[in-house]
Each structure stands twice: as C-alpha cells, then as structure tokens.
Amino acid sequence: MRSKIIFELAKKIEKEANGIRDIKIMHLCGTHEDTITRYNLRSLMPKNLKLLSGPGCPVCIIPDADLQAVFHLIENANVVLTTFGDMARVPFEGKSLFYFKSKGCEVKIVYSIFDALEIAKRSDKPVVHFGIGFETTMPSTALAILDGIENFYVFSSHRFFVPAINHLLSSNIKIDGFINPGHVSTIVGVKAYEKIEIPQVIAGFEPEDVMLAVYQLVKSIKNGENKVFNEYKRAVTYEGNVKAQMVMNEVFERENWDWRGLGVVKDSGGKIRKKYEEYDALKVFEDIFSNFEIKEDPKKRACRCGDVLKGLIEPLECPLFNKVCNPKNPVGPCMVSVEGTCNIWARLGGC
Amino acid sequence: MCLAIIGKVESIEYPFATVNFKGTKKKVRIDLIEDLKIGEYVLVHVGFAIQKVDSREVEQYNEIWENVINSLQ
C-alpha cells in the first residue's frame, strides 16, 4: 500500500517536472535526509530535479570553536559536563568529549536537559550543560534555566534556524525550493516562513510526506508561487507553539553567530540574555575562558563537511568519505551524528 | 536531534506527565502545552512535550500501522 502511494507520487512529480528547467530542492532536516536515503527517494526523482541536503543537523553546524571552548572548560574547571550523545563523539585534534571522559573528566550523556537538572540537584559540583539544537530544543533549555537550580549552567551553542534559510538564499548555490524542518516548525509555526520569498513546504518524516512535499514544490516552482505550504498539519499549526516561543525569547536573544559551512549567520545565535547570566557558563566561568584561543585542526583540512552542509557537494565527492572518515572513525561532524548526511549515506548507502 | 515521537498522556503531575509510547512509559515535562488532559496525544522531543496532536489522526495512523504489521505476519 505504502509503496503504491510513493510510486503514484513519483509519477505525478515526473509529470509535473516534465519539460521544465533543471531545478534544485533543498531539505533542511537530518531526519528528512534519513527518510530520503533509507527509502532511496532520490532514485524516484526526474533527471531535471536535484534533491539537496542542507544544514539541518544541529550537531554538524556547530563550529569547532564552540567544541574547543567546551574542551577548554572541562580541562580547566572542576565541573560535571552534560550533553547529548552525538555531540560527545565529535572530534577535534583527535579528542572528543568521550576522550575526556576516558581520562577521568565527568562527562555525562543525557537524553533530556531535565536529566541534567536532576544530576545538578544531586551534585555538589557545578553542572554545565552543552546546549545544542535549533528552535525545537531551545525551549527545553530555556525552561531548565527558568527552573533556577543554583549549580546548573548552560554553555549555549543553540542556533535559531529560520535566519539560516535567508542566509542560504544569498549563497552561491541557486536553490528553487525548500522542504522546511517539521519539528522546528512545530515550535515556530507556518507564519515564521511567510516573509521568505521562495516556494517552501513544511513536511513530516514518512516517505509519503517527503514525496508529497516535492510534488507541491515542483508545482509551486513551475507556477512561480513563493508560498509556504504545510504538509505536516498533524503537528504544525499556523502560530506554532506560542508558549514555547515566549519561553525561548525570554531566555535567549539573537546574535550573529558562526555556523560550520555557512559562516556568520545574522541573528542566528542563541545567546543567553544578561538577565539570566548567572546561568550562562560563558559568564560564570569567564576567568577560565579569558585565556582560551581558537585553533585549527590540521586533521580536518581535507574534510568537506562545510560544503556538504551548504549542498555544494554530496558526501561521495569528499575525498575522505568512507575511507579515513567513516561512522566508526569520523573526521567531521557530518559523519558523527546519526542525522549527519555523511553518516546517513555511509550507513544506508546514499547515492 | 530534532526527532520527536508521539505518545499518549496517562497521568499528569504538573509540570510532568507520564506518556505512553506504545508500551514504553516516560516522564516528560508538559509546561509548554496549554490545557493538556489525560488521554490526549503529545509530540515529545528530548523529554518535553512540544505540541498536542489530534487524537483522531493518531488513532487512524495506529490503525494503518497495525494493518501493515498484521499483513506482514
């Protein structure tokens, strides 16, 4: 039944794209890449339609500077560090948070920031949470800060995703339409994308969802309609989760922050507001960060993770892909995270 | 990272609820959901509910999946 629906949609896409110019559609979520590769949906696309992977993996887009700062903190302060699993495997100069754990540093992997709060309640040490994620995750970090646990701090590497879409539009890769991230959209709502002048579809994560999104995008591109369609109505509303937006904006303000591959993206950084600086690890441990210097990792010179995140190349075009860089021995974060395009292609056989 | 899954609210002890994900039960934060009731479905991401989901749609989905699973047996 499912394959019948998918093949029917493939035929409709083919028909709609017939005779039009070459077009490029970019998705903006690692889970969409997983669906596309797992179900080999690229093989169902017409020859004039290219489905690109964008910067939708929050682990992948965090620049090495953030990672180095966290390494510097745990090397120089007696803290417990909590973070999500994928982040702990990202290497810099051959070291990762798991490396520091093996050397006796207290690094704890949590499923939720609320698990980190429980660790803080039981600990007499400062507990620092390495906060990553887009608008989907930021409200939970905001809530944890608002809980006001006195030995709990956040090192914020959170990024607002919506500004990155505008940034991509000004890049040197011509994109004709976006498949917008489903769960970021649950928080920000359809309205967040309305001023972005390009065809967009907010999509769910089943292969039928993705195929339907592509079909709608081809129709919009063909008709010159710069509109946002919401295919993921079972989870996304026009307004989004207003309470989550309020909590997020209460705790975080926007700054121009760097993204791996994209460079500095205007208003995309999730900086903790001055009002909550007593929970901001950057402020609380500012003495420790005062002698921190950003370095370059020579091992990553050949890594093209940044170009993969911009949709400039596919993983197979990176000289390291599935050779020295593989899921067991990743060089760049796109091979570390299960939502990274390189990791997905290596595990599921993307092409 | 932005993964979220749907579960059914079994009990509420504000700001927490016990949510049943097809047999696996987990305590999640529900601060960001307005007027949540036992028996409703929520989308859960990293331990907190990010949105209520229409019960009829979830039940229809569950029915489709049960049919798929039964057809494989």
What is the CB neighbour count within 10 angstroms for residue A22?
A: 12
- Supply the pLDDT for residue A171: 81
> Complex ipTM, two decimals?
0.83
- Supply the pLDDT for residue B71: 66
Among A100, A50, A90, CA closest to A312: A50
Among B54, B64, B66, B70, CA closest to B8: B54
Rounded Cα–Cα distance for residues A114 and A97 (Å): 20
pLDDT profile of chain A (351 residues), mean per 10: 84 95 95 95 96 95 96 96 94 94 96 96 97 96 96 98 94 91 95 96 93 96 95 92 97 98 96 98 96 90 94 95 94 92 92 70
- The CATH number of the domain where B16 resides is what? 2.30.30.140
Contacts of B56 (CB under 8 A, 6+ apart): none
Residue B73: pLDDT band with limits 50, 70, 90: low
Show the beta-strand stretches assigned E in chain A: 23-27, 49-53, 80-83, 106-109, 127-131, 152-156, 177-180, 200-202, 228-230, 252-259, 263-272
A331 alpha carbon, distance to own chain's centre: 18
- Residues of the domain holding B27: 5-72
- B43 with A186: Cβ contact below 8 A: yes
Spell out which residues of chain A touch residue B53, defining contact as CB-CB under 8 Å: 234-235
Average pLDDT rounded to a whole number, residues B3-11: 91
Say if A30 is an interface residue toward chain B (CB within 8 Å).
yes
User: For chain B, how many structural domains are there in total?
Assistant: 1
Say if B4 is an interface residue toward chain A (CB within 8 Å).
yes
Residue A224 backbone dihedrals phi, psi, to 5 degrees: 65, 35
Rounded Cα–Cα distance for residues A113 and A144 (Å): 7
Contacts of B22 (CB under 8 A, 6+ apart): B7
Shortest CA gap B49–chain A (Å): 9
The conformation of residue A280, written as its DSSP 8-state character, comes to: B
How are beta strands A263-272 and A252-259 bridged, if at all? antiparallel
- Supply the pLDDT for residue B25: 95
Exposed e or buried b for every residue in A173-201, given b needs 16+ CB within 10 A? eebbbbbbbbbbbbbbbbebbeebebbbb
- Supply the pLDDT for residue A299: 86
- B53 with A234: Cβ contact below 8 A: yes
Spell out which residues of chain A touch residue B68, defining contact as CB-CB under 8 Å: 1-2
- Supply the pLDDT for residue B57: 76
Nearest by CB: B2 against A2, A114, A136? A136
Is the predicted pLDDT of residue B65 greater than 90, yes or no?
Answer: no
- Supply the pLDDT for residue A35: 95
| Three-class DSSP category at B52 | strand
How are beta strands B41-45 and A252-259 bridged, if at all? unpaired
- Supply the pLDDT for residue B72: 58
Spell out which residues of chain A touch residue B43, defining contact as CB-CB under 8 Å: 183, 186, 235
CB burial of residue A143 (10 Å; 0-12, 13-18, 19+): buried
- Supply the pLDDT for residue A234: 86
- Supply the pLDDT for residue B1: 65
| Three-class DSSP category at A80 | strand
Is the predicted pLDDT of residue B56 greater than 70, yes or no?
Answer: yes
User: How high is the mean pLDDT of chain B?
Assistant: 86
Give me the amino acid identity at B56. Answer: R
Shortest CA gap A137–chain B (Å): 7
